[in-house]
Amino acid sequence: MASKLGLLMVLWGVAQLESAVIPKETYYTFLGTYGRLGKGGKYDEVDYYVTFNSKVPIDAERDCEAVFAAHGGGSLVEFGDVAEMDAVNRWLDQYGAGLLYWTGGVYDAIDGYYWKESNEIMTAPVIQHILVTSPPRKVDQLVFSHDSSRRYHMELRPNSNAEAYICEVKRPEKAKSTVETQEKYDCILERIRLAGLPDDTNYWTAGNDLGHEGDFLWDGVGTRVAQFYPAGNGQPDNMGGHENCVSVRKVFPGAVQSAHCMNDEVCDLKFATLCE
Residues 125, 196 within the same domain: no
Q: pLDDT tens string for the chain (276 positions)?
A: 333 444 444 544 443 334 455 555 558 999 988 876 565 555 677 899 999 999 999 999 999 999 998 888 899 999 988 989 999 999 999 898 889 999 999 999 888 999 999 999 999 999 999 999 888 888 899 999 999 878 999 999 999 999 999 999 988 766 678 888 888 888 888 887 777 777 678 888 989 988 888 889 988 777 889 888 887 778 888 887 889 999 988 765 555 445 788 989 998 888 888 877
Q: Is residue 199 part of a domain?
A: yes
Looking at residue 184, what is its pLDDT?
86
> Is residue 16 one of the residues assigned to a domain?
no
Which amino acid is present at 224? R
Q: Is 116 inside any structural domain?
A: yes
From the CB of residue 64, how many other CB atoms can be counted at a distance below 10 Å?
A: 26
Backbone angles phi, psi at 118, to 5 degrees: -85, -15
Shared domain for 36 and 141, answered yes or no, is: yes
| Per-residue confidence (pLDDT) for residue 258, from 0 to 100 | 54
Q: Does 159 lie in the same domain as 69?
A: yes
Residue 98 lies in domain: 21-170
Q: Are residues 39 and 126 in the same domain?
A: yes
pTM: 0.60
Q: CATH code at 124?
A: 3.10.100.10
Q: How many domains, the chain? A: 2
